[in-house]
Amino acid sequence: MTMDLKDKKIVLGLSGGVACYKAAELCRALTREGASVQVVMTEAATHFITAVTMQALSGNPVHTDQWDTRIANNMAHIDLTRGADAILVAPCSADFMRKLAHGACDDLLSTLCLARPRAVPLLVAPAMNVEMWQNPATQRNLAQLRADGVAIFGPAAGEQACGEVGLGRMLEPLDLLEELIAAFQPKLLAGRRVLITAGPTFEAIDPVRGITNLSSGKMGYAIARAAREAGADVTLVSGPTALPTPHGVRRTDVQSAQQMHDAVMAAVGGQHVFIGVAAVADWRVVNASDQKMKKQEDGAAPVLQFEQNADILACVAATTSLSGWPYCVGFAAETENLVEYGAIKREKKGIPLLVGNIGHHTFGQDDNTVILFDETGHTVLPRADKLTLARQLISEIAKRLEQRSLLK
Ligand code: CTP
């Protein structure tokens, strides 16, 4: 839990749709991240979920009516939006999209959306049947909302409550949470393409055994998420991990170092940044067996022969000499003399930035301490959770890209 929404005031609007059940979990996730949540429901939404549930989850009274004489000035549409950090309408039905696109204000939720100060972002998570979503009328309203600066989260494709399949499902609560948190992050890498490797590799010995390492992928996945939050188009080439893909990140799964190399080289064209976070195996087994190896009667142990894998980071760095892109960032795990070894490794790899992990203890942990090495020396990023460090790293990279563009 990063408490990324600490002290944020969020108005959570629910319009009518079966996805209201997901809004309950979303509300809980928002409060867990430290947000203070004011729930506003349309009359249609109250047919799908009760105000009591949303009140219990948000810890605040729920507003369902524009005419509420319990409010001293009877101006909930003003009171709720002044001082709010964002309004998130989830689910946003086709009809509510129509209202927003046309500036309607015939219930509390639509009125407060219209009455919000310009600085308060309006974010909507559409939820509807696939035909309703694809209908030109909805697409017209969608284009209008985009033109008006409204952020659209989703929808996702998949099986729908009505039994049909296609686009129109509301994003899952945790994806919406990620989108909302991202909305508050500075767009330092807008328009940039970032390619990242993460996780361990797996070098087969036979069809059921192999050699791997303790990398969990957490740091690489956190960097992928932070890059996406910063507005980049992110491709993640991942070795085997149990981690969920950060929302909005394109992911290619691989096993061996060779597959990781091939996937990276296929994707590297046009990338602005390459970050090699993966713990890539230095060697592969050349005499791997096609069949499961059996124990020998005489107790003889198998003899494995190894061959060195290509250094993916070095291969990518070699391509930058032509165009100057991508900007290459490497990682190094050292168990001793990090400051000395880090600087040497950066030079040896021929890359502008190297991130040194202190010790092998980082593998699988949720937090870390790192040292950044560049041509001017080194900087310590003190111990923090991996997402915080990832955001700091992205900001350091963005600063250096900015300097490069100015130099060109
Ligand atoms: N790397 C890579 N391909 C490899 C090996 C490493 O892309 N075949 C990348 C890693 O993703 C990381 C960096 O190179 O960014 C680590 O470099 P490396 O020299 O392998 O680091 P160590 O394993 O720490 O090196 P050494 O074994 O020399 O200590």
Cβ(62)–Cβ(13) below 8 Å: no
Find the 311 Cα to ligand 1 centroid distance in Å. 7
- Give per-residue pLDDT as tens, 46-78: 999 999 999 999 999 999 988 887 887 778 888
Please pick, among 27, 92, 105, 162, the residue that the annotation labels catalytic: 162
Cβ(170)–Cβ(124) below 8 Å: no
Per-domain boundaries in the chain? 9-183, 193-285+302-407
| Pocket-forming residues, ligand 1, beta carbon under 6 Å | 197, 257, 276, 278, 280, 309, 311-313, 330-333, 345
Q: Distance from CA of residue 346 to its chain's centroid? A: 28
Find the 349 Cα to ligand 1 centroid distance in Å. 9
Find the 188 Cα to ligand 1 centroid distance in Å. 27
Fold of 9-183: Rossmann fold (3.40.50)
How many angstroms separate the Cα of 296 from the Cα of each of 193, 299, 301? Answer: 52, 5, 8
User: Considering the domain 193-285+302-407 in this protein, what is its CATH number?
Assistant: 3.40.50.10300
Give me the chain's average pLDDT, please: 93
Which residue puts its alpha carbon closest to atom 16 of ligand 1?
332
- Give per-residue pLDDT as tens, 255-311: 999 999 999 999 999 999 999 999 999 999 999 999 999 999 999 999 999 999 999
With vertex at residue 194, the alpha carbon angle to CA 379 and CA 241, rounded to the nearest 5 degrees, is 90
Active site residue 162: yes
pLDDT exceeds 80 at position 407? no
DSSP string across 339-377: HHHHHHHHHHHT-SEEEEEESGGGTT-SEEEEEEEETTE
pLDDT exceeds 90 at position 6? yes
Token digits of residue 270: 């046009």
E strand map for 201-334: 203-206, 209-211, 233-238, 250-253, 273-276, 283-285, 306-308, 327-334
- Give per-residue pLDDT as tens, 229-246: 999 999 999 999 999 999
